[in-house]
Amino acid sequence: MSELRFDPIHQEWVTVAAKRMQRPVTDAASACPFCPAQDEARSELPRSDYGVAVFDNQFPSFGVAGGTGADPLTVPGSAGYRRARGFGAAEVVVYSPRHEADLGTLPFAAVRLLVDAWADRTEVLSRRSDVACVFVFENRGASIGQTIDHPHGQIYAYPFLPTRMRSEYHSLWQHRRMEGSCLICDLLARDAADARRMVDQAPGWRAVVPFAPRFPFEMHLVPETHRGSLVVMDTRERDGLATLLGRSIRRYDRLWGQRMEYMMCIYQQPHECQPTNLWHLHLAFYPLRRAADKLKYLAGSESGAGAFLLDATPEEMARHLMEAGG
Ligand SMILES: [Zn+2]
Ligand SMILES: [Zn+2]
């Protein structure tokens, strides 16, 4: 079980999961714990006939199941500090039994199945009393911390609202209060009038470079209709997302003619969202490569001050992504 510690200066929770230091680092297919048809004692996936597989992370940042029913955020800490047990959940989502497969090259049906799996896990985890929000993400590439080179992503079910989601929640709430409308719906309408940052479209979805991105070639996939999470998306919208996901990743890989390192994150409605229809789902790609031979480092300004710098305009980034094709 990990431990949560509250930073009183920045008002955010930090998770201490010391045993994660033991997790494996491997890129050899022969030693891959996600490949099927190996020694069952070593493989987490004994069967080869699965489409998408979801299981608990063996080296979790968050413990499984709250159990006590106690509010994890009110456990008193020592010497005036707040700390809590690491409630919540950490799951691994394996996209395919094939080690060399990739979200950009998987057939549509496989990506579509993955979208359903994300939605199902979101629905199940969101029902738990120790979960404040479900966060689906993928780290792709060794330079971004991917430790196992088999196509997979992760799901964290946080027992608290993480900082960026909290600030987004606050902005959405303020906008609703002042304007009576959804901030993201309004931004979609505003961006439609200026198509320079619009990269791609699929039924029910748009892919845009935001007005003020933080990462090079950052792109957001946003549903055109106001939806809080993957759970409430209909068949057409799930189809559209699967189409746009595959195309977006191929677009990134074509940009520099090499596999793009990125973080992909899905921002879904937090558990206790008020009003309940406040949130507007979106996915974000945060690439870590700003040129074919240059990685983007989160250095002093970004990590120390939280101030991001870009060396190209978002409009130029969008044009390059459009020209790369999907
Ligand atoms: Zn593998
Ligand atoms: Zn909206």
Give me ligand 2 centre to Cα 109, in Å.
Answer: 28
Kindly name the residue from 10, 99, 150, 152 that is annotated as catalytic. Answer: 152
173-208 pLDDT tens trace: 999 999 999 999 999 999 988 889 999 999 999 999
d(CA 200, CA 289): 20
User: Quick one: which ligand is closest to 228's CA?
Assistant: 2
Return the higher-pLDDT residue of 194 and 139. Answer: 139
pLDDT in the model for residue 68:
45
150 among known catalytic residues: no
Sorted by where each starts, the structural domains of the chain and their CATH numbers stand as 3-158 (3.30.428.10)
Give me ligand 2 centre to Cα 269, in Å.
Answer: 11
Give me ligand 2 centre to Cα 170, in Å.
Answer: 14
pLDDT in the model for residue 70:
43
User: Quick one: which ligand is closest to 149's CA?
Assistant: 1
Return the higher-pLDDT residue of 84 and 206. Answer: 206
Q: Where are the alpha helices (DSSP H) in the chain?
A: 108-126, 163-179, 183-192, 235-255, 314-324
Tell me which of 30-34, 136-140, 279-283, 308-312 is least confident: 30-34
pLDDT in the model for residue 201:
96
Give me ligand 2 centre to Cα 132, in Å.
Answer: 21
C-alpha distances in angstroms, 98 versus 51, 149, 150, 263, 316?
10, 11, 8, 21, 36
Neighbours of ion ligand 1 (CB under 5 A): 32, 34-35, 99, 150
Return the higher-pLDDT residue of 304 and 58. Answer: 304
Residue type, position 184, single letter: I
Give me ligand 1 centre to Cα 26, in Å.
Answer: 10
Contacts of residue 108, defined as CB under 8 A and 6 or more positions apart, other chains included, come to 242, 243, 246
Among candidate residues 158, 159, 184, the one with its CA nearest the CA of residue 172: 184
